[in-house]
C-alpha cells in the first residue's frame, strides 16, 4: 500500500464531506416525497454555476483522467483536441440547441424524438443509449478508476470497482440529480486543484529543482514530438488523430453528439432555472474545458520522461500518483475518486431517467410519481451491478481505453447527429428518415470498418455522417407529406443570446486560435 495515514485521512474527510453535502441538499420537508421532476431534473432549480460544474464533473472521470493521460503518454498533446474543440462545441450547443430543447420542456433526448418523430425512434434511441451507458461508459469509469485505486492501495480490482460503485450510490440513489449536481461543485474544485497539483509536481520533478518552467522546457526539448497538435500521415498515431480532421472533420460529429444529444450531459442544462441560466452554465463549462488538458493530458506527457518504460500507457497517471509526496498524494487521490464518483452518479441517474421515462412509463403509464422514482432507483442500482461484472471482460485487454470508447461510439454517433440536426432544423424530415439515419450509421460504419480498416475512425465518422445525411434526406423526400406534424417551428424559437454569452464565444474562439497557432 502506498497511501500513508495522512493520505487516507484526507480521503476519508473528502468522502464524509461529500455525503454531508449530498444529504443536506437532498433533504425534504417531513412527509414530502420526490416526484419525477425533482428526482430526474432537480425540480428545474439548477443555477448556472451548478450546471457548469456538473457538466465538467460528469464529463471528466476515470476514462478522461486516466485514459487521456494514457493517450497523452502514447500520442501527445494532439489528444487535447477533444477538450479544446469541445469548448467551442459547448457554445454552439448553448446558442442553437438548448433553446429548442427547453422550449419543448423535455426530460430526455428520446422524449424529444417522440415529439418530433414517433415512438419507434424514441424507443430505438433509448435502448441504444442505455446499452452504451452500461456497457461502455459505466464499465470504462469503473475499470479505469479501479486501476488507480489498485495502484495506490493494493485493493483487488474487483473490490476497488465495488467500493467505487458503493460510494456513488450512497448519495446519488437517494438524492437524484439535485444531489449529483450540487456535490459536483465540490468534486470540480477538488478535481481542478488536485489535477493542477499533479501537473505542477510532475514538471517540478522533470525540472530537478529549477522550477516548473525549466521542467516544461526540458519536456519540450526531450519530447518535441509529443507537442504536435495536428499529426502528419507519417505519425504512428495518425489513425487516431488524422491531421486536419480534428478541426474540420469527424471530431465535430463526435463532439456535437456528446455535448448536444447525450442524455447524461445535457440533462444538467434541461434542469436549469431558465434558458439564460443554462447558457451561462454552458459558457462556464466551456472555459473549464480549455483548462482540462493541463489536468488530464500534461501529466501523461510528463510521464514519458519520468516513467519511460511503462507496460501500458494507461498506467501513466496511477504510477505518477504513486510518486507524489504524502498528503498531496491523498489530495490527488481524492480528486481522482471525486471525478469517478461524479461520473458514476451522473450516468446512473441518466440511466434511471431513460429507462423510467422512455421505456417503463410507456409500458406502465399512469403510475404514481413515487412509483416511477422507485423504478428509477432500481434501474440505477441494476445498471451499476451489470457494469461491475462486465467491466474486466470488456476492457481488460485494451491499452488505451479512451480510444476504445471513441472507436465504439463512433459507429453510432453520425446517425444520431443527423437525425437530431435534421429533426431540429428541417421540418420536412420524417420518422422513416430518422430511422434510416440511425440504422445506416451502424451499417455504413461496419462496412468501412471491415472493408477499409486503414481508414482513420475520425474520417470514417465524417464520411458516415455525410452518407446518413443523404439517406435521411432521401427517405424523407419519398414521403408525400411536406411538413411533419411534430416539426420544430424555428420562428417560435428565440436564438438571441446575452452580450456576456456572445463575448464568451468570441473569447473561446480567440483562445483556440492562439493554442493551435502555437502548437501547430
Q: CA-to-CA distance for 125 and 122, rounded, in angstroms?
A: 6
In a domain, 403, yes or no: no
In a domain, 65, yes or no: yes
In a domain, 416, yes or no: no
- Note the maximum CA span of the chain: 73
In a domain, 328, yes or no: yes
Q: CA-to-CA distance for 154 and 305, rounded, in angstroms?
A: 25
**So what's the pLDDT on residue 316?**
85
**So what's the pLDDT on residue 396?**
66
| Structural domain count, the chain | 1
What is each CA distance from 281 to 261, 270, 273, 344, 482, in whole angstroms? 17, 11, 11, 21, 37
**So what's the pLDDT on residue 175?**
66
In a domain, 70, yes or no: yes
363's enclosing H/E stretch is helix 361-363
Backbone angles phi, psi at 272, to 5 degrees: -70, 160
Q: What angle do CA 326, 330, 333 make, to 5 degrees?
A: 135
What is each CA distance from 163 to 137, 329, 480, in whole angstroms? 17, 19, 56
What is each CA distance from 406 to 304, 411, 456, 482, in whole angstroms? 23, 9, 12, 36
pTM: 0.86
Q: CA-to-CA distance for 316 and 66, rounded, in angstroms?
A: 7
Cα atoms in the Cβ-side hemisphere of radius 13 Å centred on 516: 18
Question: Which grid cell sits at 453?
Answer: 480498416
DSSP code string of 284-322: HHHHHHHHHHHHHTHHHHHHHHHSTT-SSGGGHHHHHHH
**So what's the pLDDT on residue 514?**
92
Which residue from 241, 394, 399 is spatially nearest to 314, judged by alpha carbons?
Answer: 399
- CA-CA-CA-CA torsion sign (310, 316, 319, 320): positive
In a domain, 490, yes or no: no
What is each CA distance from 123 to 112, 354, 356, 465, in whole angstroms? 11, 10, 12, 22
pLDDT averaged per 10 residues in sequence order, the chain, 520 residues: 80 83 70 68 81 84 76 88 93 94 87 88 88 86 81 83 86 71 78 84 87 89 87 84 85 91 86 91 94 89 88 82 81 79 83 89 85 89 91 70 67 92 91 92 93 89 96 90 74 89 95 87
Q: CA-to-CA distance for 293 and 445, rounded, in angstroms?
A: 29
Question: Which grid cell sits at 360?
Answer: 417503463
> In the chain, what is the straight-line distance between the N-terminal and C-terminal CA atoms, in Å?
42
- CA-CA-CA-CA torsion sign (16, 19, 23, 25): positive
Check: CB of residue 178 under 8 Å from CB of residue 45: yes
Which residue from 513, 512, 520, 518 is spatially nearest to 228, judged by alpha carbons?
Answer: 520
**So what's the pLDDT on residue 88?**
95
b/e code 349-383 from CB counts within 10 Å (16+ = b): bbbbbbbbbbbbbeeeeeeeeeebbebbbebbbeb
Q: Which residues pair with 272 in a beta bridge?
A: 46
Computed over its alpha carbons, how large is the radius of gyration of the chain? Answer: 22
Q: How many CB atoms lie within 10 A of CB 145?
A: 28
Residue 496's SS3 state is: coil
The overall average pLDDT reported for the chain is 85
In a domain, 404, yes or no: no
**So what's the pLDDT on residue 284?**
94
In a domain, 474, yes or no: no
**So what's the pLDDT on residue 465?**
96
Q: How many CB atoms lie within 10 A of CB 225?
A: 13
239 burial type by CB count under 10 A (0-12 exposed, 13-18 middle, 19+ buried): middle
The whole domain housing 281 covers: 5-22+36-234+260-398
CATH number of the domain at 194, please: 1.20.1730.10
Amino acid at each position: 500500500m502506498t497511501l500513508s495515514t495522512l493520505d487516507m485521512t484526507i480521503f476519508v474527510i473528502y468522502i464524509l464531506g461529500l455525503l454531508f453535502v449530498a444529504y443536506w441538499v437532498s433533504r425534504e420537508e417531513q412527509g414530502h416525497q420526490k416526484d419525477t421532476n425533482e428526482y430526474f431534473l432537480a425540480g428545474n432549480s439548477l443555477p448556472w454555476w451548478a450546471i457548469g460544474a456538473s457538466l465538467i464533473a460528469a464529463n471528466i472521470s476515470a476514462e478522461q483522467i486516466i485514459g487521456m493521460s494514457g493517450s497523452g503518454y502514447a500520442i501527445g498533446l494532439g489528444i487535447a483536441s477533444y477538450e479544446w474543440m469541445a469548448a467551442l462545441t459547448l457554445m454552439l450547443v448553448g446558442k442553437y440547441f438548448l433553446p429548442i430543447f427547453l422550449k419543448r420542456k423535455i426530460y430526455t433526448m428520446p422524449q424529444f424524438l417522440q415529439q418530433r418523430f414517433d415512438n419507434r425512434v424514441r424507443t430505438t434511441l433509448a435502448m441504444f443509449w442505455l446499452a452504451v451507458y452500461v456497457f461502455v461508459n459505466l464499465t470504462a469509469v469503473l475499470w479505469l478508476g479501479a486501476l488507480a485505486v489498485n495502484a495506490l492501495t493494493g485493493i483487488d480490482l474487483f473490490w476497488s470497482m465495488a467500493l467505487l460503485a458503493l460510494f456513488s450510490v450512497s448519495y446519488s440513489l437517494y438524492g437524484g440529480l439535485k444531489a449529483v449536481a450540487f456535490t459536483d461543485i465540490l468534486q470540480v474544485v477538488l478535481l481542478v486543484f488536485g489535477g493542477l497539483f499533479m501537473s505542477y509536481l510532475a514538471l517540478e520533478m522533470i525540472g530537478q529543482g529549477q522550477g516548473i518552467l525549466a521542467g516544461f522546457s526540458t519536456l519540450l526539448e526531450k519530447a518535441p514530438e509529443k507537442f504536435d497538435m495536428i499529426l502528419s500521415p507519417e505519425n504512428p498515431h495518425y489513425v487516431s488523430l488524422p491531421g486536419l480532421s480534428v478541426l474540420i472533420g469527424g471530431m465535430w460529429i463526435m463532439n456535437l453528439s456528446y455535448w448536444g444529444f447525450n442524455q447524461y450531459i445535457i440533462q444538467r442544462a434541461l434542469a436549469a432555472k431558465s434558458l439564460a441560466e443554462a447558457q451561462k452554465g454552458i459558457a462556464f463549462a466551456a472555459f473549464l474545458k480549455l483548462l482540462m488538458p493541463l489536468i488530464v493530458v500534461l501529466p501523461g506527457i510528463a510521464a514519458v520522461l519520468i516513467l519511460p518504460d511503462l507496460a501500458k500507457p494507461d498506467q501513466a497517471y496511477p504510477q505518477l500518483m504513486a510518486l507524489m509526496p504524502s498528503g498531496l498524494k491523498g489530495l490527488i487521490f481524492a480528486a481522482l475518486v471525486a471525478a469517478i464518483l461524479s461520473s458514476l452518479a451522473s450516468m446512473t441517474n441518466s440511466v434511471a431517467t431513460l429507462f423510467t421515462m422512455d421505456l417503463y412509463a410507456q409500458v406502465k403509464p399512469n403510475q404514481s410519481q413515487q412509483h416511477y422514482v422507485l423504478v428509477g432507483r432500481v434501474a440505477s442500482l441494476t445498471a451499476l451491478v451489470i457494469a461491475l461484472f462486465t467491466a474486466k471482460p470488456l476492457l481488460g485487454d485494451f491499452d488505451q481505453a479512451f480510444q476504445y470508447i471513441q472507436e465504439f461510439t463512433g459507429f453510432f454517433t453520425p446517425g444520431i447527429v443527423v437525425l437530431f440536426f435534421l429533426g431540429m432544423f428541417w421540418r420536412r424530415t420524417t420518422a422513416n428518415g430518422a430511422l434510416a439515419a440511425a440504422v445506416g450509421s451502424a451499417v455504413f460504419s461496419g462496412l468501412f470498418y471491415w472493408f477499409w480498416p486503414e481508414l482513420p475512425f475520425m474520417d470514417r465518422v465524417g464520411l458516415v455522417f455525410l452518407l446518413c445525411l443523404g439517406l435521411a434526406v432521401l427517405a424523407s423526400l419519398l414521403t408525400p407529406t411536406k411538413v411533419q406534424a411534430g416539426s420544430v417551428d424555428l420562428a417560435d424559437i428565440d436564438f438571441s443570446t446575452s452580450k456576456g454569452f456572445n463575448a464568451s464565444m468570441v473569447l473561446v474562439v480567440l483562445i483556440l486560435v492562439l493554442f493551435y497557432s502555437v502548437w501547430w
